[in-house]
A and B are shown apart, each in its own frame.
Chain A
Amino acid sequence: MKILVPVKRVVDYNVKIRVDKETNAVDLNNVKMSINPFDEIAVEEAIRIKEGGKCDEIVVVSLGPEQSKETIRNALAMGADRGIHVKTEHSPEPLLVAKVLAKIIEKESFDLIILGKQSIDDDCNQTGQMLSALLDCSIGTYASKIEIENDSFVVTREIDGGLQTIKLAKPAVLTTDLRLNEPRYASLPNIMKAKQKTIDEVDPADLQIEMQPKVVTKKVEEPPARIGGGKVDSIEDLVDKLKNVSGVI
């Protein structure tokens, strides 16, 4: 079995996001970038399937600028086998990503594609679904458990108000939820080994895909700042504030 895991380079989950007013975009200057956490979970799941003896090769693919290679290396250091870097200037929107992935899957066939349910930068939650439509294959979103039974996947999904278990035929697209697993750290020997693993470079033009975005960002704004509370010196003061400042009484 062959597994494809798309991984995206995003602003680290723990970084405080700032808006750059001049470029009308999130400020990416000198900001720590990491692998999208849901994609990291996808990589971990693929590795666990391989460690369970049910997979022969894990390929990770990333669309993005040169530095996306770091994200691929990161996945390779965790234990993926090979990388594909589709070089684009910016990070493309979900439909374009799905089209590129579909082309790659057309070239070499995969039995399973595991994606993050969404990337934490744009929160689109679309790529997996669009990809399965383009491939016309089965899909299981929000997976919190994946089991392999002969030629099918038994997937537990996190849905509103509970869990749902479904059975999918191969090939399938799965998207990961937070509770699927706890990703491992890259160990130093594996980081060293990852440096020897191949990363193939692909130009989107060679895939005959126009990387022209369809969505135009009009404005990026920070959420309104929260006005902090204050201490009052007396009950009278409190009553006064409630009456005249907040107007609740």
Chain B
Amino acid sequence: MKLNEKQLQDFQKKFGNILNERDIITDHDTIAPHLVDWVGNISGSSALMLTPRNSEQVSKILRLCNEETIAVVPQGGNTGSVASGIPNGEIILSLEKMNNIISIIPEDYSITVESGCILSQVQDAAQEVSRFFPLSIGSEGSCTIGGNISTNAGGISVLKYGNMRDLVLGLEVVLADGRIMNNLKRLRKDNSGYAIKHMFMGAEGTLGVITAACLRLFPKIENKVTAFASLSDLDATIQLLETLKSFSGELLSSYELIPKIGLDIALKYGDELVSPISDPQEWNVIIEYSDTKNNDNANDSLENALGNAIEKGLVCNAAIASSLSQAQNIWKIRKAIVEHQPKLGGEIKHDCSVPVSSVPEFIRSTTQKLIDYLPDVRPVPYGHIGDGNIHFNVCPPSNYNPDTFKQNTEEIREIVYGNANSFGGSFAAEHGVGQIKKKQMLNYKDEVELQLMKDLKNFLDPKNILNPDKIF
């Protein structure tokens, strides 16, 4: 619900009993960046932002909000991709000032942090003690651990280390009524009843506010080998993945699909990027091996596996980065695709997953269906193919009117997500549901599962004060 001027002043006063004055923010300019999603497509409104400094304060805020039935939207770095952190009149509860590293225990391979810690801050802290925190995503310099957990973020090393969910050992969560659930344990094993913590992961801030987390660390990576390979055809992407896994599965950390059209976008609009190979084909992949040993092991393994794949005719050509600069350039191609794709006259983004073995057929059939619907449309399917997670983005035919193209959004989304569904796939692979996929929840989610989610929400947040109207 929206606060009127009188209520706003009233609440400001009440929050004044909980928070320091400078943590109660009403200044429009300060709030403005918190009202637009990162892509700039969706904007919302809010007259008040709270920036608590500890979980006690979060607890008191929620207790008050629950009593008065006023809703809050938790927010971290506001880098989310589905506008799940954008308020529509609700109070913004920003965790940005809760950014302390509570403890790091190298022997336990664990780090305990407040939820407003920036992801890169946690990566650096781990590095300092010769450990490794593996979550790696494009927004790592601005997104927060709380946001990562609440979206169950994925990224480029899920193949080896899993999603954010797999990296969480314990949580501290403030419930809608202000109670604090303390599950901040650094245990590898704990089967004492239900794994309640998992409910809050990927919940997009609708079930509780995460205030701290204990995360898993890994041995430090001493050697990374990055390669760019051109494949003989789309099916070869999955066959090569199989070859790499059977040769050296434990080293393989990233496997990303780069279609020719994506590479062309990167080379044309990216900042002085060059193609790693002179004759790129229609389908290419970025491969990365991560090794805890600093010797030739990873290089030799990758060379052998790729050599084998060339013999088998799966790979036409491949380049292996010989310096960190070359490796970074390969990854810059991947980033440039995300950044410059809209320059093809607009884009309609999709984040879907299908079983890994179905990816080639899924890409082929979706492409065909899109062309049947709009001839010359330009699909740019790229991304985490090693996890079966394709960002199936769709760009208009060249010289097509961007506004006319936008009018096709609903139909195009239906084609892509409908087809993913027919492969047993998901319409929300790593970015969640938020505000933009509520329709797909109704269309594709198992009815019983959906009802259970609603029951759970109702049980934990009966007054619907936590991020209302998101997900369903």
Chain A: CB-nearest residue to B303: A191
Are A188 and B222 CB-contacts (below 8 A) given A35-B323, A182-B274? Answer: no
Are A35 and B322 CB-contacts (below 8 A) given A192-B307, A233-B22? Answer: yes
Interface majority SS on A: helix, strand, loop or mixed?
mixed
In the bound assembly, the distance between CA atoms of A186 and B229 in angstroms comes to: 12
Q: Nearest chain A CB to B97's CB is how many angstroms away?
A: 11
| B317 adjacent to A32 (CB under 8 Å) | no
Q: Is B238 an interface residue (CB 8 A)?
A: no
> In the complex, how many residues of chain B place their beta carbon closer than 8 angstroms to a beta carbon of chain A?
27
| B223 adjacent to A185 (CB under 8 Å) | no
In the bound assembly, the distance between CA atoms of A191 and B307 in angstroms comes to: 10
In the bound assembly, the distance between CA atoms of A180 and B379 in angstroms comes to: 38
Q: Nearest chain B CB to A179's CB is how many angstroms away?
A: 12
| B319 adjacent to A188 (CB under 8 Å) | yes
| A188 adjacent to B317 (CB under 8 Å) | yes
Q: Nearest chain A CB to B128's CB is how many angstroms away?
A: 12
| B228 adjacent to A32 (CB under 8 Å) | no
| A188 adjacent to B310 (CB under 8 Å) | yes
In the complex, chain A residues whose CB is within 8 Å of the CB of B294? 30-32
Are A188 and B306 CB-contacts (below 8 A) given A30-B222, A30-B294, A32-B294? Answer: yes
| B319 adjacent to A40 (CB under 8 Å) | no
In the bound assembly, the distance between CA atoms of A188 and B228 in angstroms comes to: 10
In the complex, chain A residues whose CB is within 8 Å of the CB of B326? 185
In the complex, chain B residues whose CB is within 8 Å of the CB of A192? 303, 307
| A185 adjacent to B319 (CB under 8 Å) | yes
Beyond A35-B322, A188-B317, 18 additional pairs, beta carbon < 8 A: A13-B323, A13-B325, A14-B328, A30-B294, A32-B294, A34-B322, A34-B323, A40-B322, A40-B323, A70-B296, A74-B322, A185-B319, A185-B320, A185-B322, A186-B322, A188-B303, A191-B303, A192-B303
Footprint of A on B, CB under 8 Å? 22, 222-223, 227-229, 274, 276-277, 294, 296, 303, 306-307, 310, 315, 317-326, 328
Shortest Cβ-Cβ A-B pairs, 10 listed: A185-B319, A14-B324, A34-B323, A188-B318, A185-B276, A30-B294, A12-B324, A74-B322, A188-B306, A187-B319
Footprint of B on A, CB under 8 Å? 12-15, 30-32, 34-35, 37, 40, 70, 74, 77, 182, 185-189, 191-192, 233
